[in-house]
A and B are shown apart, each in its own frame.
Chain A
Amino acid sequence: GAVVSQHPSRVICKSGTSVKIECRSLDFQATTMFWYRQFPKQSLMLMATSNEGSKATYEQGVEKDKFLINHASLTLSTLTVTSAHPEDSSFYICSVRDWGSGELFFGEGSRLTVL
Chain B
Amino acid sequence: EDQVTQSPEALRLQEGESSSLNCSYTVSGLRGLFWYRQDPGKGPEFLFTLYSAGEEKEKERLKATLTKKESFLHITAPKPEDSATYLCAVQAIGGATNKLIFGTGTLLAVQP
Contact = CB atoms under 8 A, between A and B. Distances in A.
Indicate, yes or no, whether A interacts with B.
yes
Interface of A: 4, 6, 32, 34, 41-46, 49, 59, 91, 93, 95, 97, 102-109, 111
Chain B: number of interface residues, binned into ranges: 20 to 34
A42 B104 contact: yes
Given A32-B98, A108-B43, A109-B41, 19 more contacts: A4-B43, A42-B104, A43-B87, A43-B102, A44-B100, A45-B102, A49-B96, A49-B98, A59-B99, A91-B41, A97-B98, A103-B49, A104-B34, A104-B46, A105-B46, A106-B46, A107-B43, A108-B42, A109-B42
Interface string B51-93: 0000000000000000000000000000000000001010000
Interface of B: 4, 32, 34, 36, 41-46, 49, 87, 89, 96, 98-100, 102-105
A30 B44 CA distance: 19
Contacts of A42: 104
A109 B43 contact: yes
Contacts of A109: 41-43
A102 B32 contact: yes
B99 A6 contact: no
Contacts of B103: 43
Contacts of A103: 46, 49
Given A43-B87, A43-B105, A104 B43 contact: no
Nearest to B45: A106
A44 B98 contact: no
B44 A44 contact: yes
Contacts of A102: 32, 49
A34 B98 contact: yes
